[in-house]
Homo-oligomer: A and B are copies of this chain.
Amino acid sequence: MTLTGVPTGTEYVRRQNTGLVLRSLRSHGPATRTELARRTGLAKATVGTIVAELEAARAVTQDATVSSGRGRPGRPVTLTGESILGLGLEVNVDYVAAVALDLAGKVRVVETRPVATAGTPPSTAELISMATDIRTTLMREGHTVVGATVAVPGLVAHDNRTVSWAPNLGWDGRHLAEELEEAFGGGCPTTIDNDANCAALAEAAHGVTTDVSHSLYITGTIGIGAGIVQDGRLIRGGAGFAGEVGHMPIGNPKRVCGCGRKGCWEASVGLRAMLNAVDMEEENTPLQTATTVANRAARDAGMRDALAALGHDLGTGLATLAAVLDPAAIVLGGYFVPLGAYIVPAAGEVLAERLPSASIHLPQIRLSSLGIHAAALGAAEDALADVYAGTLAL
C-alpha cells in the first residue's frame, strides 16, 4: 500500500471508486457484485476488479454462491478487513497510549505506557518504542498496518505532520510524523492530529455520541480544547487550528492564563483553576487528581460550592460554543469526568439560561465514556479514514 500526495487521473478515480465500494459495504452490509454495481452506479466490470483487489488485500471475503431469488445467483461480498489495521497513538505529558483498529471497526490492540518526566519535556523515545513494538508484532501476525495517526495535546500544522506548538510537552515545531516514519522504516504513512479532534472522533464512532451527527468534545486537562464534529465530520478550520477554545476571552478577566494573557476560559476552568478553587494539589494524572477531589467533595460542602462555581464558568463557555455551533451533544472529557456530579448541573443551568432562543434545541451535556484511550482510539479511526475515503491505495 502506498500513499501519494495528489492522486490524479485514472488512479485517482480507481481509489475513489474503491472507497465507494468500501463505504457501501460498511453502511449497507454485504452485497453481490451486481448489487454493488447498482448501489454505487459503477460498471459491473469495475466493481469486479475492485472486489478482486479488496479480496487480495483481505479487506473483503466473497461467500459461497447464493440465489438472490431473481436473475443470476451471486456471491455476497462481505467487509472483513480483520487483517487491515489503523494504528492510533497518543503522546501526553505522563503517558503514551496505542490502539490498533481493524477495517471492520474492531479494536485489536490497546496499550498504555507511563512516561517518566521528572520536569523535563518528554522525548519521543517511549512513543517510538511502543509504536514500533506493536507494528512489528502485528506484521509478524500477518496484519497490514495501513497507517498511523498520533494524537498530541497541542496545535498541529496544516501538513498534519508537524506539531506547531504543544506547550505542555515543551514542543515547538517538532517533525513528529517524519520521526515516526523513519522509525517504522517505511511502509506506514503517519499523520499527526490534535487530541481533542481524535477524542471527538472516537466518541462519535465508539462512545457517547454515536447517536448524533453534531457534537462537541471538550478536553479537560491543564488546557481546554475542543473537537468539533458536524455532519459526522471533524471541523478543522482554515489552518487546522479550529477548537482552540481554551483561549476564548470569556473567563474571569483578572485570571492570568498559562499563555500570559488574562481572561482566557481555561484560566477559569482548566485543571489548575479547579485545584486553586478547592485548594488542593495536582497528582500524577488529571483523572487521578479529579478522583481525589471528587472523593473529598463528597463530604465537603464548601468544596462542592467551589466546584459548582467552576461549573458556572464552564457553562458560560459551553453556551458560547453552543450559540456558534449548535451541537446536539457536548461531551466533557478528562478531569471533568470524575467531577461530573458537581459541575454538570451548574454548567447545564447556564447553558439553558443563555440559549439564544427557546426554539433552539438544548444540547445535552454528557460525560466521556472512553477514558484514557479516547484520543488513541480516535487516532486509529483517523488512520483508517484514508482507506474509506479511497485516497489510500490498497
A164 interfacial by beta-carbon distance below 8 Å: yes
A385 to B: closest C-beta gap in Å? 15
- Chain A 87-111 interface 0/1 with B at a Cβ cutoff of 8 Å (1 = within): 0000000000000000000000000
**In the complex, are the beta carbons of A245 and B324 less than 8 A apart?**
yes
**In the complex, are the beta carbons of B356 and A244 less than 8 A apart?**
yes
- Chain A 215-240 interface 0/1 with B at a Cβ cutoff of 8 Å (1 = within): 10000000000101010000111111
**In the complex, are the beta carbons of B248 and A324 less than 8 A apart?**
yes
A17 interfacial by beta-carbon distance below 8 Å: yes
A311 interfacial by beta-carbon distance below 8 Å: no
With A323-B248, A324-B242 as known contacts, state yes or no: A261 contacts B354, CB within 8 Å: yes
A268 interfacial by beta-carbon distance below 8 Å: no
A326 interfacial by beta-carbon distance below 8 Å: yes
Q: Within A26-80, which residues are at the interface with B (CB < 8 Å)?
A: 38-43, 46
**In the complex, are the beta carbons of B356 and A249 less than 8 A apart?**
no
A304 interfacial by beta-carbon distance below 8 Å: no
A184 interfacial by beta-carbon distance below 8 Å: no
A360 interfacial by beta-carbon distance below 8 Å: yes
**In the complex, are the beta carbons of A246 and B40 less than 8 A apart?**
no
**CB-based nearest B residue for A229:** B238
In the complex, which of the residues B16, B41, B363 contacts A46, with contact meaning CB atoms closer than 8 Å? B41
Residues of B within 8 A of A334 (CB): none
**In the complex, are the beta carbons of A238 and B259 less than 8 A apart?**
no
In the complex, which of the residues B239, B319, B326 contacts A326, with contact meaning CB atoms closer than 8 Å? B239
**In the complex, are the beta carbons of B244 and A360 less than 8 A apart?**
yes
Residues of B within 8 A of A325 (CB): 235, 237, 242, 324
**In the complex, are the beta carbons of B46 and A328 less than 8 A apart?**
no
In the complex, which of the residues B17, B172, B226 contacts A324, with contact meaning CB atoms closer than 8 Å? B226
**In the complex, are the beta carbons of A245 and B323 less than 8 A apart?**
yes
A247 interfacial by beta-carbon distance below 8 Å: yes
**In the complex, are the beta carbons of B324 and A247 less than 8 A apart?**
no
In the complex, which of the residues B16, B249, B360 contacts A155, with contact meaning CB atoms closer than 8 Å? B360
**In the complex, are the beta carbons of A249 and B247 less than 8 A apart?**
no
Q: Within A156-181, which residues are at the interface with B (CB < 8 Å)?
A: 157, 164-165, 172-173
